[in-house]
Structure 1
Amino acid sequence: MPEGPTTLVLVRHGVTAHTTERRFSGGLTSSNPGLSEEGRAQVRSVGEWLAPVVDRIDTIVSSPVRRTRESADIIGELLGREVVEEPGFAEMEFGAWDGRTFDEVAELHGEDLEQWLGSLDVAPGGHGESFRAVEERVLAGLERVLEEHAGRTVVVVSHVTPIKTLVAHVVEAPLLAIYRMELLPASVTVLSFHPGEDHGPFATLRLFNAVPPDRALLGDPQRW
């Protein structure tokens, strides 16, 4: 196994019509909207910012959901890297809430919404997933990526819930911490996993929620 760290450059997808309208937007069983033109421009900006460190990027791993795959393909074309899919990094499924605003869900499914907000183990109606179910799926995906790309730098294109779940895991925060994080569209978060012996890899959070073209916020990618 390579001795160096495995670094994940986590990129949230660009905006869709659902993002702009603040609608619940889930995974593969959702209405699965594609990127808007604004979203494509956001992702191109991220790809251009990553270009100076392209020699260190091994591959691009994408959630199979449409908006993430479209984002990954844009970045892959800019960086000249292959895109592979990892279903573990798909967004939470929101069931009957998908495509609705928070206010609409509150009106139509008020009791269910209240229960969901009060427990990590409650899933939205229909084919929804709980936060705990998503955590299990995301961490299984993480194990596969760390095994397949050990010692390399990988761009992972995913969604709000999986990325915040990975951050909480890395900093050893309770899953409730996801409620205290804000993650912008087409933002960059960087995690590194250093090889360990008895207790698995030692992980660090190196960058969180950085958005081009604010270079002061992004910092120097050469330091990752």
Structure 2
Amino acid sequence: MTSHVIVEADGGSRGNPGPAGYGAVVLDSDGQVLAERKESLGVVTNNVAEYNGLIAGLTAAAELGASTVDVRMDSKLVVEQMSGRWKIKHADMQPLAERAKELAAGFSRVKYEWIPRAQNSRADRLANEAMDAATGKPAAGRPSAAAKTGKPKLPTRKPDRATTAWTGAQGTPTRLFLLRHGQTEMSALRRYSGRGDVPLTELGQAQAAAAAKRLAAISDLVVDGEAVPIISSPLTRTKQTAQAVADALGGRVETHPGLIETDFGEWEGLTFAEAADRDPELHRSWLGDSSVPPPGGESFDVVHRRVRKARDELIAEHGGRTLVLVSHVTPIKTLLRMGLDAGPQLLFRLHLDLASLSIVEFYPDGNASVRLVNDTSHLA
């Protein structure tokens, strides 16, 4: 009998909904593995799979006679709901959450902790083996756990996302909806606007509302009654735009500093002509060389490295999911450039309107797919 254990649980769905599975690991206080569970679930959503991973982990902990449990998962939704901080709105989630609560009530204490995906590798491996089995792929020689039962029956859904098998890409992509902020006074006057923290104009607020209405009509952005993550640059104009989206989807806004606009340095607030008159040679070089920074500012090469790091961090935390990123013209161009595997000249040749929508997908095997660029049909 072990009095205290750690449960690491994970679940996933290739398509969301799609072929799904879960994995759970029970460890003692020294990190020794006491039990492992995994199972294929058929066609369900990520959140259904995550809850089943939790249920399997708690069941295994009870079988070991544990009295206290620390649950660690990379699903913020499950952790927040089981901790009582978020409501459980979706009907599919409610019976699973009730089953998990019943199991948790059998221990003297259960503590829930969110961890980054990179720290949940054991359960993630098991979940992927289960998903491999669900899709008919060999699971690296490990036996299937399909014989394990004892879970609630699960609703299934038909996948509604078009496949991209013809591209040769492997795995479930992280899909990024890229929304540029609405109009500000600086953009209306066509002035360089980087780190200056200006709010939306009245028109900018209307543009944000129109974009939010467009996104609210996309079924992929609300899964099991919960909005996908909405992540914004920390500047006011993007946070206002992101909040309009969050209000429409029923979600909440997070920020990431890597999504902030280019630092234009001493050119901040100047028009194109004013910057060219002030520093003619430098401005001319800057327009053709991504390594050249504005005076006291940030080169596009520096922005590229910053945005790549932000993208990698977001994929590490939310890999295989859909995200809404609300940002600025240069970071969005940079993400599209990465998706196209294009050179820096794209930055000078691609136009992005205010409140425009673009979509790019990044696959775990390194492939990418740009699906939409500069769509403003919602502003018509």
Q: After TM superposition, what 4+ stretches of structure 1 lie above 4 angstroms from structure 2?
A: none
Determine the structure 2 residue equivalent to 1:124: 294
Determine the structure 2 residue equivalent to 1:10: 178
How far did 1:194 drift?
2.3
Which aligned pairs between 1:1-224 and structure 2 lie closer than 5 A? 2=12, 3=14, 4-27=172-195, 30=196, 32-52=197-217, 53=219, 54-56=221-223, 57-126=227-296, 128-196=297-365, 201-213=366-378
What SS class does the counterpart of residue 213 from structure 1 fall into? helix
Say if 1:10 and 1:158, in contact at 8 Å, map to a contact too: yes
Q: Give CA-to-partner distance per residue, 1:56-104, whole Å, 9 cap, x none.
A: 4411010111111111111111211111111111100001100110111
How far did 1:212 drift?
3.0
Rounded to whole Å, the distance in 1 between the matches of 2:257 and 2:379 is 31
How far did 1:158 drift?
0.5
Rounded to whole Å, the distance in 1 between the matches of 2:253 and 2:304 is 23
Say if 1:123 and 1:131, in contact at 8 Å, map to a contact too: yes
Aligned amino acid, residue 21 of structure 1: L
Structure 2 alignment gaps of length 5 or more: 1-10, 15-171
How far did 1:181 drift?
0.4
Rounded to whole Å, the distance in 2 between the matches of 1:213 and 1:72 is 16
How far did 1:214 drift?
6.6
TM-score scaled by length of structure 1? 0.88
Rounded to whole Å, the distance in 1 between the matches of 2:188 and 2:247 is 25
How far did 1:213 drift?
2.7
Rounded to whole Å, the distance in 2 between the matches of 1:92 and 1:142 is 16
How far did 1:177 drift?
1.2
Rounded to whole Å, the distance in 1 between the matches of 2:350 and 2:286 is 18
Rounded to whole Å, the distance in 2 between the matches of 1:17 and 1:150 is 36
Q: Give CA-to-partner distance per residue, 1:30-71, whole Å, 9 cap, x none.
A: 3x2110010110010011111122324411010111111111
Say if 1:49 and 1:212, in contact at 8 Å, map to a contact too: no
Say if 1:6 and 1:152, in contact at 8 Å, map to a contact too: yes
What SS class does the counterpart of residue 33 from structure 1 fall into? coil
How far did 1:195 drift?
2.5
How far did 1:115 drift?
2.3
Rounded to whole Å, the distance in 1 between the matches of 2:278 and 2:361 is 42
How far did 1:132 drift?
0.2
Matched-pair identity in %: 39
Aligned amino acid, residue 270 of structure 2: R
Rounded to whole Å, the distance in 2 between the matches of 1:214 and 1:12 is 13
TM-score scaled by length of structure 2? 0.53
Structure 1 alignment gaps of length 5 or more: 216-224
More helix by share: 1
Rounded to whole Å, the distance in 2 between the matches of 1:45 and 1:214 is 6
Q: CA RMSD in A?
A: 1.5
* Structure 1 residues 43 and 214: alpha-carbon distance in aligned structure 2, compared to 1, 3 A threshold: closer
Rounded to whole Å, the distance in 1 between the matches of 2:184 and 2:346 is 26
How far did 1:118 drift?
3.0
Rounded to whole Å, the distance in 1 between the matches of 2:368 and 2:252 is 25
Say if 2:173 and 2:361, in contact at 8 Å, map to a contact too: yes
Aligned amino acid, residue 83 of structure 1: V
Task: Give the paired residue count.
Answer: 207
How far did 1:205 drift?
0.3
